[in-house]
Amino acid sequence: MAANGVAAMGATIESEAVRIGARGLQAEWVRPARAIGLVVFAHGSGSRRGSPRNRFVAEVLHQHRLATLLFDLLSEDEAQDRSKVFDIALLAERLCEALDWLGERDGEAGQRRVGLFGASTGAAAALQAAAELPGRVSAVVSRGGRADLAASFLPRVQAPTLLIVGGADKQVLQLNRAALRALRGAKRLEIVPNATHLFEEPGALDAVAHLAADWLVRHAEGGSLQ
């Protein structure tokens, strides 16, 4: 589909509805003017590309000149199958397909390394994809992530990894502290005080978005994506 230009924060943003892979997974590719990097999102279980939390984070990333790709990791039929919803290997495979799609679609720009932003089970998929394609991923951000579901892949993750967890999300916080120890590359754990798993408390998701933007910009692949 043709891209539509919209104005945001005084700059032009191109938004394009696209389909990825042989299954034609639905996606939204948004490119701010003079983007300095690209971030692919992996939503959590029970969610899809329209996740309001991920879309909020994506809007903050656009303000930092980061392009975003939000897409459905599963088809509508697959999303009804709970075994597929929690199949981390399958979700990671779909992320890798998205990276391949970017390479085919955007030529040299698509061959640049990209950031991955994963939530809950999507974070496990992002970490596994980063381990499997170390030369293609510039950085990983996990929001309330179930990194334990990718435990065997954590020592192989080379991309700088930021784990963001709510301070009141006790079980996930414990799992992420263990994941931090397992990661071998550049890594950091950020705890958002008093936040629960979905970061629904006032200001919590905004804190997540800005922590993610700072990390992803710092590790973004340089050069325009226009």
Q: What token pair was written down for 188? A: 């950091």
How many domains would you assign to the chain?
1
Q: What is the pLDDT of residue 226?
A: 37
Quote the tokens at residue 90. Answer: 């399958």
pLDDT recorded at residue 221: 66
> Is residue 226 situated within a structural domain?
no
Among 6, 8, 22, CA closest to 104: 22
**Is residue 51 a part of any domain in this protein?**
yes
Look at residue 11 in the predicted model and tell me its pLDDT. 52
Q: Which SS3 state, helix, strand or coil, does residue 219 take?
A: coil
Element housing 137 (H / E): strand 137-143
Domain range for 149 is 4-218
Do 27 and 17 touch, CB atoms closer than 8 A? yes
Tens-level pLDDT at each residue, the chain (226 residues): 334 444 444 457 888 889 988 888 989 999 999 899 999 999 987 677 878 899 999 999 999 999 999 998 988 888 888 888 899 999 999 999 999 888 887 654 445 789 999 999 999 999 999 999 988 999 999 999 999 999 999 999 999 999 999 999 999 999 999 999 999 999 999 999 999 999 999 999 999 999 999 999 999 865 434 3
- CATH code of the domain containing 9: 3.40.50.1820
Classify residue 225: in a domain, yes or no.
no
The C-alpha angle with vertex 193 and arms to 37 and 92, in degrees rounded to 5, equals: 40
Residue (of 163, 90, 93) closest to 123 by Cα position? 163
